[in-house]
A = this chain, B = another copy of it.
């Protein structure tokens, strides 16, 4: 089949979504989230398994109630740059906020990572979920949804403009002619927009893949719209097969409506597979994991995150869910609204909401290796995703998936048996964008001819 499955790895360190007690697992080092050797090993394992990318999450606000893996971790680009020189093929996707960075700085850093990695950089654009982040950047209030998404769109446009500062043949380095740079191939940007004024040019040239790949994680209307306009990869919410189909079709349709090729946006769902020799053993293991994460204080703190770090412990746990609709705009509006709607509809107490809103996500990929491979094939064939962002509790579980499930996927022709390219774009099947100035020149030449 021509449509290809993509696999990425999200290394958990000492924890992850619904894995807040992971640090207690004796196989997990307590400093995994700040140990560069842990990430190098994870990246090398992902590359050995022919995965498309390593995906590094981020956040910039904590307090003492936050889960272990939020508390202490490496900044994603610093991390990925160290990983880059220990790998050759795997993509390196780092999360960075468009709300709390400057386009010139961030474009430069991703351009540098793209050169260091030989064209394997990706940027997961986030607008920052935690409202408390604003207070680390001199602002009392987090910007509202519309402002954050408007800024994100303009930010990506500016970054892409800066990344095209040099045409690919800008440096003849002709000793005899004493010409290092051909000045006609260096371009200022002179962007003036609603959120940014950036003159440029950027002092970094393009990599083998032209520009870093843009990822996004759009769930809300604004998020989906941003993704359809600029994203080349998406981290999708997952859920049931039907909801995943709906999301997939919606994103592809929106992308086409912006005049883009819908194949040039790759949709990844989160998969925390639980694989064991038998289906029964895998299901038992999944129940154990869910039980381990049953910590009411932690659930309350995470619930509060969706409402701007609101302290729910001040309310009676067994009274009806309090009226916090006014706080929804502050945090993750889509998540908060869903929580409120469900609490009203099912008449839930705060305790019930906290327990059910815990971010343990039921994985569709639970069972024996064959069961999991079957499930991946079914979902992939049903138009629910282009790739899976895989997360494992331990290095051992990653290795078991790679040794047992990946070969079945390969036998079925679903997954590659060797890398197609050395760049992230090449392996994702995304085109390498021609420099906009080169393109303009070629257009003028063609019209003139």
Contact residues of A with B, CB < 8 Å?
14, 23-24, 26, 30, 34, 36, 40, 59-64, 68, 70-75, 77-79, 81-82, 84-86, 100-102, 104-105, 108-109, 111-113, 115-116, 132, 135-139, 166, 171, 173, 175, 178, 180-181, 183, 186, 196-201, 203-205, 295
Considering the chains assembled together, what is the distance between the CA atoms of A171 and B199 in angstroms? Answer: 45
Residue of B nearest to A188 (CB): B63
Do the beta carbons of A116 and B180 come within 8 Å of each other? Answer: no
Contacting residue for A204 out of B30, B73, B77, CB 8 A: B73
Q: Could you give 30 example pairs across A and B, Cβ below 8 Å?
A: A14-B180, A34-B204, A36-B85, A40-B85, A60-B104, A63-B201, A64-B181, A68-B181, A71-B171, A71-B181, A71-B203, A72-B166, A72-B203, A72-B205, A78-B78, A78-B81, A79-B81, A79-B116, A81-B81, A81-B82, A82-B84, A82-B85, A100-B104, A104-B136, A135-B199, A136-B198, A136-B199, A138-B196, A138-B197, A178-B295
Residues in chain B near residue A73, CB distance under 8 A: 203-204
Residues in chain B near residue A173, CB distance under 8 A: 23, 30
Residues in chain B near residue A199, CB distance under 8 A: 132, 135-136
Residues in chain B near residue A115, CB distance under 8 A: 34, 36, 74
Residue of B nearest to A116 (CB): B36
Do the beta carbons of B137 and A102 come within 8 Å of each other? Answer: yes
* A105, A108, A113 — most chain B CB neighbours (10 Å): A105
Residues in chain B near residue A186, CB distance under 8 A: 63-64, 71
Question: Min CB distance, A437 to chain B, in Å?
Answer: 14
Considering the chains assembled together, what is the distance between the CA atoms of A115 and B111 in angstroms? Answer: 23
Residues in chain B near residue A79, CB distance under 8 A: 81, 112, 116
Residue of B nearest to A121 (CB): B78
Copies of this protein, total: 2
Do the beta carbons of A204 and B36 come within 8 Å of each other? Answer: no
Considering the chains assembled together, what is the distance between the CA atoms of A139 and B196 in angstroms? Answer: 10
Question: Min CB distance, A164 to chain B, in Å?
Answer: 14
Residues in chain B near residue A26, CB distance under 8 A: 175
Question: Min CB distance, A39 to chain B, in Å?
Answer: 9
Besides the known contacts A60-B104, A64-B181, A71-B186, 19 further A-B residue pairs in the complex with CB atoms under 8 A apart: A14-B180, A24-B175, A36-B85, A60-B203, A68-B180, A71-B171, A71-B180, A74-B112, A75-B112, A77-B109, A78-B78, A79-B81, A79-B112, A82-B82, A82-B85, A85-B86, A136-B199, A138-B196, A178-B295
Do the beta carbons of A108 and B180 come within 8 Å of each other? Answer: no
Considering the chains assembled together, what is the distance between the CA atoms of A135 and B201 in angstroms? Answer: 10
Question: Min CB distance, A123 to chain B, in Å?
Answer: 13
Question: Min CB distance, A140 to chain B, in Å?
Answer: 8
Do the beta carbons of B75 and A78 come within 8 Å of each other? Answer: no
Considering the chains assembled together, what is the distance between the CA atoms of A111 and B79 in angstroms? Answer: 11
Considering the chains assembled together, what is the distance between the CA atoms of A337 and B132 in angstroms? Answer: 45
Residues in chain B near residue A34, CB distance under 8 A: 115, 204-205
Residue of B nearest to A189 (CB): B136
Contacting residue for A200 out of B136, B181, B197, CB 8 A: B136
